[in-house]
């Protein structure tokens, strides 16, 4: 260790060398052989490379020191070799061509008699191993996996993990070695063996059947860990080796997916873990978390699933935000399997929406959104609306959107729907979307019994509002234009204040003259005036309305000018005017919750196939219907194929990928393959991140050309879907068989 009196000269020397690097006056070799400075005279090459690594961490170029690092790796001194391997891992990566020069040194060190030399060589190989190095050095790693030394065996297993990912063909070699690691008494060796098995199963699902024979042994190891039968040096806060327990549970989860036999065989041990592990310590909670995830993957055991949900319910009561967040995430996944088990924790979940942590609030809101059903809708939605009044602005927009969607989706009666939307629009109208306002108007339009009630309630709310509320103004103006002046008498549900037309016209005048009011509100006001003018029989009201419309002909807004001039031009034509501004009838069969884009798509899909000869006068040109079929679907992904064009031996189509689960998918990629008699051309997927329940899927254009005309009708394709869900990589392979086209 440097003495304090030498620290300042060393700092000055490093700064001078950095300046030399920046100015280009630094001679590369002199850094490693410099003499006479008083500090580096007695320093070996390893010390200088260590300083070079420090400069690399500061962001300065250090490529000139790569060869010096290789010299240290080839050194016979352990201190030099240790610094050399450290520099090798820090200064180089598998893409560097110079890395090929170190393969021989690694091979010599892997055959060394010193366990620590072998250990640092395996560590370096596990960090920078390329596919070429994996093929060259795999025999040495395979031999070291059989070493009697536990230290070497665990290092070799970790090195084999990287080799499996770089060269998947080696999985068969290392699979047997990984299972042999489970018979070792050393925890570190067992842990690395289980980790290697997890990596092999993640890369290739076919090894699930091979590793299934180890399930009894894994359960036995886990049972001994729970009972505390292993050595005390592995104890962490009263939990025996939680790292090994978590890894074994992770492996059991992978093996039990889509295998009921394995799921039944591990049910007893999962119940023991869930009931015997101490949940008062962080280490115990980590084991319980993995246990819950494993239980969720086991199908058909409702008792275990209820136990897992109860554990997550306890997590929600902790003060640790991390525990509460992962509990909400797992409850969201458990909802699809057993929604009734979550209902008992509904109050705790609703309390999480009021949490100060923004991530917990949003995750709890996602859970509540899918937790609502017709039986609990009134209680949950009323609770959300009450919280809207006090929540902060950063969370209000998302909460408002979710509340409006829930009210639209589960609305027991129009009166309840109207009252709740009125509260939401009055409290936070700036956060209410246009789709929500449109759905409310359609609901009122189709409920003739509540026309007068809704008009009077929204007019009163508009009159009492102290600030400009665009959403409230637009809905109130639409309702006043339709129902403020009516000849028929609707049923009045409660005593509402009647609408004073003079007061209404004064309020509309303020809207038309207020520059801060959005242009959309002014257009709504002009249309409302036009409808009121067509319905009233009072000459003084007609004259006042026409005066207000005429005042907008000189407005700064071109759209307002245009609309007011159009309305004025209709005055002389009373029949046309009354027809244009007549009341809108009820729209039967229209779902208020559907957006305008979906309406347009639905209308387009209902149109018959058009014959272009009718439009262009061409007899031999026709448009055929596009063929859409479902190519694949599981609990997370749905794949649809849209065949757009086919002629002779060519076919063009678009694949659409929908995330139908409750968790976002990251790093989404797609690979495809066709038989040898076909040629495939595909573009990259449009999205790499798929949010849950998204209406906008990822799309990918593809085309297939059949090289053998005799097999042109046999269109076959295999796709590989790769994505990451909650940090865990997934690979799905599916066969796609095209229908007869």
DSSP 453: H
On the question of pLDDT at 7 being above 60, the answer is no
CATH number reported for the structural domain that contains residue 150 in this entry:
1.25.10.10
Nearest 5°: phi and psi at 404?
-65, -40
Task: Please tell me whether residues 514 and 433 are part of one structural domain.
Answer: yes
CA separation for the pair 409, 403 (Å, rounded): 10
User: pLDDT averaged over the chain?
Assistant: 81
Q: How confident is the model at residue 610 (pLDDT cuts 50, 70, 90)?
A: very low
| The domain boundary residue, chosen from 580, 614, 648 | 580
Q: pLDDT at position 384, please?
A: 87
Task: Please tell me whether residues 185 and 218 are part of one structural domain.
Answer: no
Task: Please tell me whether residues 195 and 244 are part of one structural domain.
Answer: no
Task: Please tell me whether residues 34 and 148 are part of one structural domain.
Answer: no
Sheet holding 665-673, edge to edge: 665-673, 716-725, 728-737
On the question of pLDDT at 118 being above 90, the answer is yes
Task: Please tell me whether residues 560 and 694 are part of one structural domain.
Answer: no
Give residue-wise pLDDT tens across range 263-292: 888 989 999 888 888 778 888 889 999 999
Q: Flag whether 606 is in a domain.
A: no
Burial class of 337 by CB neighbour count within 10 A (0 to 12, 13 to 18, 19+): middle
CA separation for the pair 681, 702 (Å, rounded): 6
Task: Please tell me whether residues 191 and 218 are part of one structural domain.
Answer: no
On the question of pLDDT at 41 being above 70, the answer is no
Average of per-residue pLDDT across 225-239: 76
Nearest 5°: phi and psi at 738?
-75, 140
Task: Please tell me whether residues 435 and 572 are part of one structural domain.
Answer: yes
List of residues 6+ apart from 520 with CB closer than 8 A: 470, 474
Q: How confident is the model at residue 732 (pLDDT cuts 50, 70, 90)?
A: confident
Helix (H, G, I), strand (E, B) or coil at 636: coil
Give residue-wise pLDDT tens across range 393-423: 888 888 888 888 888 888 778 888 898 899 9
Q: pLDDT at position 477, please?
A: 93
Task: Please tell me whether residues 76 and 121 are part of one structural domain.
Answer: no
Q: Report the number of distinct structural domains present in the chain.
A: 5
* Residue 428, both tokens: 């936070």
Average of per-residue pLDDT across 234-258: 88
By residue range, what is the domain housing residue 514?
414-580
Q: How confident is the model at residue 157 (pLDDT cuts 50, 70, 90)?
A: very high
Task: Please tell me whether residues 429 and 543 are part of one structural domain.
Answer: yes
């Amino acid at each position: 260790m440097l003495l304090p009196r030498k620290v300042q000269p060393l700092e000055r020397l490093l700064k001078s060398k950095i300046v030399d690097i920046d100015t280009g006056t630094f001679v590369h070799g002199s850094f490693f052989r410099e003499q006479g400075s008083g500090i580096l005279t007695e320093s070996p090459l390893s010390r200088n490379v260590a300083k070079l690594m420090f400069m690399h961490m500061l962001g300065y170029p250090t490529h000139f020191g790569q060869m010096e690092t290789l010299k240290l790796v080839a050194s016979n001194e352990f201190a030099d070799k240790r610094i050399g391997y450290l520099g090798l891992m820090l200064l180089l990566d598998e893409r560097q061509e110079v890395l090929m020069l170190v393969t021989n040194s690694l091979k010599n060190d892997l055959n060394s008699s010193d366990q620590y030399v072998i250990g640092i060589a395996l560590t370096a190989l596990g960090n920078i191993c390329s596919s070429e190095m994996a093929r060259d050095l795999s025999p040495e790693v395979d031999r070291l996996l059989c070493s009697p030394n536990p230290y070497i065996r665990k290092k070799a297993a970790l090195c084999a993990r990287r080799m499996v990912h770089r060269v998947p063909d080696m999985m068969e070699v290392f699979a047997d070695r990984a299972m042999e690691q489970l018979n070792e008494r050393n925890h570190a060796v067992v842990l690395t063996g289980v980790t290697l098995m997890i990596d092999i199963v993640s890369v290739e699902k076919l090894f699930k059947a091979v590793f299934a024979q180890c399930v009894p042994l894994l359960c036995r190891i886990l049972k001994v860990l729970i009972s505390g039968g292993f050595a005390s040096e592995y104890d962490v806060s009263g939990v025996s080796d939680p790292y090994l327990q978590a890894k074994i549970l992770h492996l059991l989860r992978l093996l039990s997916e889509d295998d009921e036999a394995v799921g039944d065989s591990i049910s007893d041990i999962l119940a023991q873990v869930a009931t015997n592990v101490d949940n008062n310590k962080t280490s115990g909670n980590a084991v319980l978390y993995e246990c819950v995830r494993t239980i969720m993957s086991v199908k058909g055991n409702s008792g275990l699933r209820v136990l897992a949900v109860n554990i997550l319910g306890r997590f929600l009561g902790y003060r640790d935000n991390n525990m509460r967040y992962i509990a909400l995430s797992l409850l969201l996944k458990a909802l699809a399997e057993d929604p009734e088990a979550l209902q008992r924790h509904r109050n705790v979940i609703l309390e999480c929406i009021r949490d100060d942590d923004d991530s917990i609030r949003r995750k709890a809101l996602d859970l509540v959104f899918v937790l609502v059903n017709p039986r609990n809708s009134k209680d949950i939605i009323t609770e959300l609306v009450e919280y809207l009044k006090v929540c902060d602005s950063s969370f209000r927009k998302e909460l408002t959107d979710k509340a409006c969607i829930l009210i639209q989706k589960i609305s027991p009666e129009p009166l309840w729907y109207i009252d709740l939307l009125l509260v939401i629009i009055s409290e936070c109208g700036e956060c209410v979307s246009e789709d929500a306002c449109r759905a409310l108007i359609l609901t009122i339009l189709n409920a003739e019994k509540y026309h007068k009630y809704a008009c009077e309630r929204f007019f009163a709310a508009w009159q009492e509002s102290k600030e400009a509320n665009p959403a409230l103004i637009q809905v109130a103006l639409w309702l006043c234009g339709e129902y403020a002046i009516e000849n028929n008498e609707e049923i009045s549900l409660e005593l509402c204040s009647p609408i004073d037309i003079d007061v209404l016209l004064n309020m509309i005048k303020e809207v038309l003259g207020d520059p801060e009011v959005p242009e959309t509100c002014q257009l709504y006001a002009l249309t409302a005036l036009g409808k009121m003018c067509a319905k009233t029989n009072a000459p003084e009201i007609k004259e006042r309305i026409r005066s207000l419309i005429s005042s907008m002909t000189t407005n700064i807004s071109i759209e307002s000018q245009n609309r007011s001039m159009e309305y004025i031009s209709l005055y002389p034509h009373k029949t046309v005017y009354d027809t244009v501004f007549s009341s809108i009838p009820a729209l039967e069969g229209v779902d208020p919750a559907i957006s305008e884009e979906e309406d347009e798509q639905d209308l387009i899909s209902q149109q018959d196939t058009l014959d272009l000869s009718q439009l262009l006068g061409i007899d031999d040109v026709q448009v055929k219907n596009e063929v859409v079929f479902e190519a694949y679907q599981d609990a997370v992904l749905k794949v649809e194929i849209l065949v757009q064009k086919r002629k002779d031996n060519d076919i063009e189509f678009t694949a659409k990928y929908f995330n139908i689960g409750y968790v976002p998918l990251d790093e989404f990629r797609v690979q495809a393959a066709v038989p040898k008699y076909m040629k495939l051309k595909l573009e990259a997927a449009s999205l790499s991140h798929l949010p849950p329940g998204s209406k906008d899927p990822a799309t990918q254009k593809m085309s297939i050309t059949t090289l053998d005309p005799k097999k042109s009708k046999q269109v076959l394709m295999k796709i590989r879907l790769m994505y990451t869900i909650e940090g865990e990589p997934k690979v799905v392979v599916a066969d796609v068989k095209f229908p007869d086209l």
